[in-house]
A and B are shown apart, each in its own frame.
Chain A
Amino acid sequence: AQSVTQLGSHVSVSEGALVLLRCNYSSSVPPYLFWYVQYPNQGLQLLLKYTTGATLVKGINGFEAEFKKSETSFHLTKPSAHMSDAAEYFCAVSSNQAGTALIFGKGTTLSLSS
């Protein structure tokens, strides 16, 4: 079984500040990990993903995440937040097993202040 926990349903940062969104997972098989962003009334956009190989993955819009197996974590960071980053962020886990669906965390709302 797989599950995802996103710590903090709301995160508020100032424009230009560091963004840190936390994600911890549970998986009985090697996980594939994803971060998605969702803007109001829109679908999901993939920010980045980890499957195998390098544990630090870079995504779009300046975001990156590091897979830490010992901590079962996959936190999302961005050095300098921009107003356009205000959105809902979802961490998700899957695996390489055929037919495995994505299991999503509850999401974190990122809000920005100028």
Chain B
Amino acid sequence: GAVVSQHPSRVICKSGTSVKIECRSLDFQATTMFWYRQFPKKSLMLMATSNEGSKATYEQGVEKDKFLINHASLTLSTLTVTSAHPEDSSFYICSARKRDSSYEQYFGPGTRLTVT
């Protein structure tokens, strides 16, 4: 199989605080992980591409200082939303690509972030 988990599944935080979301590939090594953001009733917007051991590549318009991405190992990537504001409330989804695959991506179940 190819299972990707995310933790937490839901998080509520106060405005101004930081939140860390974890994305793990449970049964495979992921050389590349992707972070997406999904607004209600909207499509998935690619935020950044994360390669193990190197800096993430952010899409245009995504603030890299606000959305910190770390891919420290072949099975774990983290997204930290720093100084969160209500407009950061969204559904965040990660996906992971296997080491030996050029295109197949496996998606996590998503994390619902609510900033109050």
The answer on a CB contact under 8 Å between A44 and B93 is yes
The answer on a CB contact under 8 Å between A101 and B46 is yes
Q: Given that A43-B110, A106-B42 are known contacts, is A98 also in contact with B102, CB under 8 Å in the complex?
A: yes
The answer on a CB contact under 8 Å between A101 and B103 is no
The complex places the Cα of A90 from the Cα of B44 at a distance, in Å, of 9
The complex places the Cα of A104 from the Cα of B59 at a distance, in Å, of 14
**When the two chains form the complex, which single residue of A45, A97, A101 contacts B34, counting CB atoms closer than 8 Å?**
A101
B105 within 8 A of partner (CB): yes
Q: Which residues of A contact B46 (CB under 8 A)?
A: 101-103
Tally of chain B residues near chain A (CB < 8 A): 22
B115: shortest Cβ distance to chain A, in Å? 17
A100 within 8 A of partner (CB): yes
In the complex, the number of residue pairs spanning A and B with C-beta atoms less than 8 Å apart equals: 51
Find the B residue at minimum CB distance from A106: B43
A114 within 8 A of partner (CB): no
The answer on a CB contact under 8 Å between B43 and A43 is no
Q: Which residues of B contact A49 (CB under 8 A)?
A: 104
The answer on a CB contact under 8 Å between B43 and A107 is yes
The complex places the Cα of A97 from the Cα of B97 at a distance, in Å, of 13
The CB with the most chain B CB atoms within 10 A, among A32, A96, A101, A106, is that of A101
The CB with the most chain B CB atoms within 10 A, among A51, A90, A95, A99, is that of A99
B-side interface residues toward A, CB under 8 Å?
6, 32, 34, 41-44, 46, 49, 51, 91, 93, 95, 102-105, 107-110, 112
**When the two chains form the complex, which single residue of B51, B102, B104, B110 contacts A42, counting CB atoms closer than 8 Å?**
B110
6 A-B pairs with least C-beta separation = A43-B109, A44-B107, A106-B43, A104-B44, A43-B110, A43-B107
Q: Given that A43-B93, A100-B103 are known contacts, is A107 also in contact with B42, CB under 8 Å in the complex?
A: yes
A95: shortest Cβ distance to chain B, in Å? 7
The answer on a CB contact under 8 Å between B43 and A32 is no
The complex places the Cα of A28 from the Cα of B102 at a distance, in Å, of 17
Residues 82-114 of chain A, each 1 if its beta carbon lies under 8 Å from chain B, else 0: 000000001000111111111111110100000
